[in-house]
Structure 1
Amino acid sequence: MTKIILSGAQGRMGKVITQLATENSAYEIVAGIDRQVDTSATFPICHTLADVKESADVVIDFSYFENVPALLDDAQASALPIVVATTGLPEETLKKMESVSQTIPVFFSANMSLGINVLIQALQKITPSLEADFDIEMIEKHHNQKKDAPSGTALLLADSINDVCQTKKEYVFGRQGNHNENLRSQMGIHAVRGGTIPGEHTVLFAGQDELIELKHTALSRDIFANGALKAAAFLVKQKPGLYSMNDLLAH
């Protein structure tokens, strides 16, 4: 059994992970971390990882980007592997993850879905053949409670495309204005926020008289929670280092 400390336990994803872990005997949430301490929870909830007294194998973080640096420090001090599934991380936090991963196992992915990671493989396969003659645009949609825009997944998809482009794309976030040139060297990334949309990402390759669309739709948050739980079970067996979904899928 994998014993988990869940950061962001009272959030949307925290509650989904808790439910799925309850239904699967391979996992147990032994403690939570959140700004709000809910005394009705089935496990103790603390304000910080340093306050947690329960013994655990791994930390899963679905919180807020500002919380991640301190959580990484506490995980390192406690010698606990950590799965970081929080999105919208600034560059300095990504660098901190790399530093911390020298002493503890760290797993990071901007999206925990198997489908998204297969989509990345597909994008990297077709982009070199289309880059010269097709404009590339992206539309991402999420629920109205999502704080960051564009989504971490949108940037993950964009970066995966850019990695195989002969001429690197400049990201343009929205296209407000009257004098846009809409250059092929640009990639437009457009964010939509509304209702309870779990997540939808569409990549458009628009050429002369033809259009190719690759789309991934998340129908529930379960797909991200399942991915995080699998990442946690994978990570507890690893040596210090920085791991991703590619490592999990290849395992």
Structure 2
Amino acid sequence: MASAGGVTSAVVVGGSGRMGRLVREELAARGFAVSGSYDVDNVDELDEGAPAADLVVDFSAPAALPHVLAYARRTGAALVSGATGYAPEQLAELRALGETNRVTWSSNYSLGVAALRRATAMVAEALGGWDVEIVETHHGRKVDAPSGTAKALLAAVDPAGSRPVVDGRSGIAGPRRPGEIGVHALRGGTVAGTHEVHFFGTDEEVCLTHRAASRQIFVAGAVAAAGRLLSRPVGFYDFDDLMFA
């Protein structure tokens, strides 16, 4: 693992991917000292001997999580996690780390998406009897579906998780079930990310939409969250807590 001197250190994940490179560049531009990077194929370098850092920014993959958690516990590093595709028990592990470390996790570090989640919750409450469909679109190389952001929007519509969810319809699907929420994933091209929440009533529709023109918005949000996280006491923080509280 490469290292460099500096006052504040950061271990940045995703060294072989575009997101990791952009995060490293943004951290350096904002005065952080990037002490090293890793990805899924060499994350075991964190297990022993990796220098202690103040901060871990993790955009790798769920498979790296045990190593990232062990490193954070050993060093006391703050953790900004943006990896998606976590199982519920893995998200529970991230939250549990907040008992000893400063931690934040978000499926999307865009301020616009954070505002979209808030707006979605407000509209869902106001239009409680309307049909809801969530559509997300990403580039063809994205490996998980639906996106973490789509799942967050689903939670904004149905916080209790009690409504039936479908991820596609084909054949004789029958009439729409009462309360059903559709969540649909589109893949293709170089789309950075588009999320739409459709509310259908009688003779009218409300559609909330966010379009990402590039990954840079996620990078800027994650690094801004990192700066705020380092000033907070130990605990688990939602992105909204850090940026809007």
Q: Mark yes or no: TM-score above 0.5.
A: yes
Q: Does 1:239 align with 2:244?
A: no
Q: Does 1:194 align with 2:188?
A: yes
C-alpha distance 25-136 of structure 1, shift in aligned 2 (>3 A): closer
Q: Does 1:8 align with 2:14?
A: yes
C-alpha distance 12-180 of structure 1, shift in aligned 2 (>3 A): farther
Q: Counterparts of 1:147 and 1:6 in 2: how far apart (Å)?
A: 21
SS at the partner of 2:141?
A: coil
Any stretches of 5+ residues in structure 2 without a counterpart? 1-6
1:63 corresponds in structure 2 to 60
| Identity rate, percent | 33
2:23 corresponds in structure 1 to 17
Residue among 106, 114, 119 paired with 1:117:
114
2:165 corresponds in structure 1 to 171
1:30 corresponds in structure 2 to 35
Q: Which runs of 4+ in 1 moved over 4 A?
A: none
> 1:27 Cα shift?
2.4
Q: Counterparts of 1:62 and 1:121 in 2: how far apart (Å)?
A: 24
Q: Counterparts of 1:176 and 1:188 in 2: how far apart (Å)?
A: 13
SS at the partner of 2:144?
A: coil
SS at the partner of 2:10?
A: strand
C-alpha distance 171-243 of structure 1, shift in aligned 2 (>3 A): same
SS at the partner of 2:35?
A: strand
SS at the partner of 2:83?
A: coil
SS at the partner of 2:158?
A: helix
Cα-to-partner distance string for 1:51-73 (whole Å, 9 max, x where unaligned): 56444210000001121233112
> 1:193 Cα shift?
0.8
SS at the partner of 1:48?
A: helix
SS at the partner of 2:47?
A: helix
Q: Counterparts of 2:66 and 2:237 in 1: how far apart (Å)?
A: 17
Residue among 133, 141, 144 paired with 1:145:
141
> 1:36 Cα shift?
5.4
C-alpha distance 56-77 of structure 1, shift in aligned 2 (>3 A): closer
> 1:229 Cα shift?
0.6
Residue among 77, 80, 105 paired with 2:77:
80
Q: Counterparts of 2:127 and 2:95 in 1: how far apart (Å)?
A: 33
Query: Size of the alignment, in residue pairs?
Result: 239
C-alpha distance 243-142 of structure 1, shift in aligned 2 (>3 A): same
Q: Counterparts of 1:231 and 1:197 in 2: how far apart (Å)?
A: 24
Q: Does 1:214 align with 2:208?
A: yes
2:3 corresponds in structure 1 to none
RMSD of the alignment, in Å?
1.9
1:183 corresponds in structure 2 to 177
> 1:131 Cα shift?
1.7
2:96 maps to a residue whose letter is S
- Tell me the TM-score normalised to structure 1 length: 0.88
C-alpha distance 25-139 of structure 1, shift in aligned 2 (>3 A): closer
Any stretches of 5+ residues in structure 1 without a counterpart? 38-45
2:132 corresponds in structure 1 to 136
Check whether the contact 2:40–2:64 (CA below 8 A) recurs between aligned residues.
no
SS at the partner of 1:123?
A: helix
Check whether the contact 1:31–1:52 (CA below 8 A) recurs between aligned residues.
no
SS at the partner of 2:74?
A: helix
1:210 maps to a residue whose letter is E
C-alpha distance 35-150 of structure 1, shift in aligned 2 (>3 A): closer
